[in-house]
Structure 1
């Protein structure tokens, strides 16, 4: 798409993006292509946000996303930036897509899942003869739901001007079906079609990637099975860090100024109509809850810029950066409750009934010797999911054996480990309880273990993997180990309650019920990322960037001329 025009001799709007993760990079790049003068501020020293990276003793780890799904969405962003994925990344299709270990079937070989409809049908037939035809119908439904979501529900903020996209025959004739999918849980939807517990887990586990559980995710999300069972799973050589680097290169080439080590301390506003009255607060809350009903005619405070602290030696002076547009591509709760002025901050009570999604313990292991027992992606499923997910939801300690995910990147990308060695990344979903602490580092040079609960969960996961996969000496072969816990996600990303992915995709936090990309009470303030529409995941974050771009276009933001940077005082 061509950049929006600006009057002759007038520079485009001055825009500040808070956060250098996928959503921040994607939004900064698209707005720069629109003619905006964009500055991106990232509080860490590296870009990528939750898509972190860590290296030690020849081992390299992604510490965030690891499943490369919805490739057409990622390709679309690169195309909008005037490039292509294949100009920047070396993608490898995984075979098998992933390996599964089932607690009740440890005496049998693990089940490998190959991508492709024929392969998936053959697998289900082998697990439960006669179920292949049922899977065919299930995958047809998943494909239809996915295409419908892409066409009508993902690339929109449900603003009143976009509602016409929903009032079309393709949506209206499927309205009863959509209502059923939204009103039924994924767990119930799957259980009504498949009786084999292994099949139910294969089809239900994608809910975890949406920050929730199969019994709380709407059945609409059965579309996830189209992505892994039909479309397939790929891997970018160099990991998701390579994707971050490629995006950062394109964003810089588009003219974006990127400043790392910049901790934003406030979003600054110009005076507008008071919003402290109860009626005004209720109006703002209603507009946030139902963006389609919001009105842009009420005068609001106007965003003026941000203040940030640059990281440096000694006491750094605060820097005030003027802006016509501010995009918060960070945790929404942090933005609304910590960075806005007192009169505009969202009350804590607004978040009490929302679901932050699970947290997790991450374990990076550098292992001596090869591990043929594992493939690139591995899933370990406990038999009692009700107990497993219930503990996470209730904030209770995990059972001795729990469902975990293990990634062996070195299976596809040997450069991520020394020759003859392997790197493992273990994710243990756990309650969002920041008090359970932070992780630590153990290498040949450093011995700084993390907090007790985090290390206990990590130890149990390593022991469980050793037993289930038949690697009895796994712990003794570990040369490098780093752990992360809920406290790390709070410290590094200001994550609400140490959430690992973002607010979970329950019915009340999906589609039009998820917070929108516009701050209803402030003109010129927008949000991108996993906290807002359309939701969790790298592709969703890239889509949110397009939704923000379109919202900024719709508002017709022009340069206000207040783009000066000053040190030592707030705006």
Structure 2
């Protein structure tokens, strides 16, 4: 029986049945929101634990977040929790970080102690520090951050909360007034914009490192993404007590409270599609069939389209992927240290002098050099409970090429462990902790091959499709299949893009698509329970109901 005829038989007032594939941020957020909307929601997650890329690892008394570690874009979190009738400050215990992060700039001698900059929670103090580094540049950084804040507000108001079903809906008087500024931001690279505004190469790195958050390099990201400098330089950096996994726990708790069923250890074998091209549910690898009126996939888009969707109905078949860019992968090392490492902040960034060559190697699918630009998270600086007594926990992230051969075999993994130890030695040398390698033990390693094997990530990419111009905004894959009208996508490789806050927005865009809402702004808060009833007249479910009556 098809989804349409089944829905018709159950009557126009029946609750729509929706299956959500994937228990990461976007899947959990979608499940909760659609359950609040009145749908009968079943979420299926292939692993025994929820979280997806935002997982948690507990090993030898240490607790690590295994994915995202920066809490940015607080407006997106506040909007989602408000939609669910909750207060983000009640659901999450947020701690303001000071310093927001610490930067180690490679010194004149490769093995020497690096120059250190703390980016303070006091923005005015930061302008003074930047000016001390490079006289006159404090004002340039302030002006850059001011522009970034303006672009950020425009993005929130007009670009991030739209499905781009009607691209011109993003235009209003304010956007039209700024077109002469906004259009060049699309064609100029982030690196180019930074170079035109700031002279000092160290300060250029402070403005350009966000490109990695977008799966890319400063030379490849549109300069509109300069808006991200507003977040760390002006808005602030926070930490949810319990780690980023506390967000997963909150999303799962709320989804269950709203009535969603969350099933783990339930891998999907295929999405069921009838002869008319309508999704009718999913079949699990166990053989169990879960019927649905609509399917939302939070799995990797490439995996969804080339493995789960029947070949006849693929909107993104394999032949189209050669034109796409997977974005960077990463080498992640979870490290135990005997004793503490107070020289490192909660967030520490290590920037190599040969910044461009570092990125060129990664984007050219070559291993980065040693030394390289490295990120280290020391959560114990904020929450000592993540480590056993007398120990410290360090999370190393090294941007790596998206190459599934890296870590695919035992010899390759052993080689990458050696590479990880080289980066531990680099961090120790730059931070003035010469004995760090001897005090450290790698507890767990995540490679590009692991991102493919565990998460089905295309080419082992760690984040999602790279944010090039042709993979951003209206050019990013839409959140609904062009072949199967009741198959929707959610997560980092669809609109609006990469990152925990954008994945929360992605869930809202699924709701907007079901409702037929084509405006540019976020949904009103709180979302009334049963709001999907409005989709009887419009949206995906409304279209299915009309097909059923026909």
**What TM-score do you get using the length of structure 1 for normalisation?**
0.87
- Residue 66 of structure 2 is matched in structure 1 by 63
> Are the equivalent residues in 1 in contact too, given 2:336–2:440 (CA < 8 A)?
yes
Q: Distance in 2 between matches of 1:118 and 1:246?
A: 34
- How many residues are aligned here? 510
Change (3 A) 1:373 1:438: farther
Q: After superposition, what is the alpha-carbon deviation per residue over 1:214-252, rounded to whole angstroms, capped at 9, x for unaligned?
A: 000111011000000101100011101111111100001
Gaps of 5+ in 2: 1-9, 517-538, 546-550
- Residue 352 of structure 1 is matched in structure 2 by 322
Match for residue 134 of structure 2 among 128, 131, 139: 128
1:100 aligns with 2:84: no
> Are the equivalent residues in 1 in contact too, given 2:485–2:540 (CA < 8 A)?
no
Q: Distance in 2 between matches of 1:197 and 1:488?
A: 34
1:407 aligns with 2:391: no
User: Offset at 1:180?
Assistant: 0.7
- Residue 220 of structure 1 is matched in structure 2 by 224
User: Offset at 1:479?
Assistant: 4.7
Q: Distance in 2 between matches of 1:238 and 1:53?
A: 10
Match for residue 510 of structure 2 among 544, 548, 560: 548
User: Offset at 1:467?
Assistant: 1.2
Bigger shift: residues 416-425 or 116-125: 116-125
Q: After superposition, what is the alpha-carbon deviation per residue over 1:381-416, rounded to whole angstroms, capped at 9, x for unaligned?
A: 111122101111111122121111000011101110
> Are the equivalent residues in 2 in contact too, given 1:439–1:483 (CA < 8 A)?
no
User: Offset at 1:475?
Assistant: 2.2
Mapping 1:76-115, distance limit 5 Å: 76-104=79-107, 107=113, 109-115=115-121
> Are the equivalent residues in 2 in contact too, given 1:502–1:536 (CA < 8 A)?
yes
- Residue 38 of structure 1 is matched in structure 2 by 41
Match for residue 141 of structure 1 among 130, 147, 154: 147
Change (3 A) 1:396 1:479: closer
User: Offset at 1:347?
Assistant: 2.6
User: Offset at 1:130?
Assistant: 1.1
Q: Distance in 1 between matches of 2:11 and 2:273?
A: 28
Mapping 1:20-419, distance limit 5 Å: 20-104=23-107, 107=113, 109-160=115-166, 163-272=167-276, 301-309=277-285, 317-345=286-314, 346-419=316-389
Change (3 A) 1:399 1:71: same
> Are the equivalent residues in 1 in contact too, given 2:158–2:171 (CA < 8 A)?
no
> Are the equivalent residues in 1 in contact too, given 2:113–2:430 (CA < 8 A)?
no
Q: Distance in 2 between matches of 1:251 and 1:33?
A: 8
* SS, match of residue 118 in structure 2: strand
* SS, match of residue 107 in structure 2: helix
Q: Distance in 2 between matches of 1:220 and 1:115?
A: 24
Q: Distance in 2 between matches of 1:374 and 1:438?
A: 32
Mapping 1:445-464, distance limit 5 Å: 451-464=413-426
Change (3 A) 1:108 1:331: closer
> Are the equivalent residues in 2 in contact too, given 1:439–1:488 (CA < 8 A)?
no
Q: Distance in 1 between matches of 2:131 and 2:207?
A: 15
* SS, match of residue 217 in structure 1: coil
Q: Distance in 2 between matches of 1:126 and 1:267?
A: 58
Gaps of 5+ in 1: 1-6, 273-300, 310-316, 441-448, 562-571
Q: Distance in 1 between matches of 2:353 and 2:191?
A: 14
> Are the equivalent residues in 2 in contact too, given 1:12–1:559 (CA < 8 A)?
no
- Residue 293 of structure 1 is matched in structure 2 by none
**What TM-score do you get using the length of structure 2 for normalisation?**
0.90
Change (3 A) 1:187 1:560: closer
> Are the equivalent residues in 1 in contact too, given 2:41–2:261 (CA < 8 A)?
yes
Q: Distance in 2 between matches of 1:318 and 1:472?
A: 55
User: Offset at 1:120?
Assistant: 2.4
Q: Distance in 1 between matches of 2:84 and 2:284?
A: 28
Find runs of 4+ consecutive structure 1 residues off by over 2 angstroms: 7-11, 104-109, 163-167, 558-561
User: Offset at 1:450?
Assistant: 7.0
Q: Distance in 1 between matches of 2:543 and 2:288?
A: 20
User: Offset at 1:107?
Assistant: 4.6
> Are the equivalent residues in 2 in contact too, given 1:187–1:219 (CA < 8 A)?
yes
Bigger shift: residues 451-460 or 383-392: 451-460
Q: Distance in 1 between matches of 2:73 and 2:171?
A: 26
Change (3 A) 1:450 1:436: closer
Q: Distance in 2 between matches of 1:418 and 1:367?
A: 10
Mapping 1:524-535, distance limit 5 Å: 524-535=486-497
- Residue 515 of structure 1 is matched in structure 2 by 477
Change (3 A) 1:167 1:420: same
Bigger shift: residues 77-86 or 486-495: 77-86
> Are the equivalent residues in 1 in contact too, given 2:26–2:298 (CA < 8 A)?
yes
1:476 aligns with 2:482: no
> Are the equivalent residues in 1 in contact too, given 2:216–2:328 (CA < 8 A)?
yes
User: Offset at 1:476?
Assistant: 2.0
Q: Distance in 1 between matches of 2:511 and 2:393?
A: 39
> Are the equivalent residues in 2 in contact too, given 1:361–1:457 (CA < 8 A)?
no
* SS, match of residue 118 in structure 1: helix
Q: Distance in 2 between matches of 1:44 and 1:308?
A: 13
Change (3 A) 1:407 1:450: farther
User: Offset at 1:559?
Assistant: 11
User: Offset at 1:108?
Assistant: 5.6
> Are the equivalent residues in 2 in contact too, given 1:305–1:326 (CA < 8 A)?
yes
User: Offset at 1:135?
Assistant: 1.8
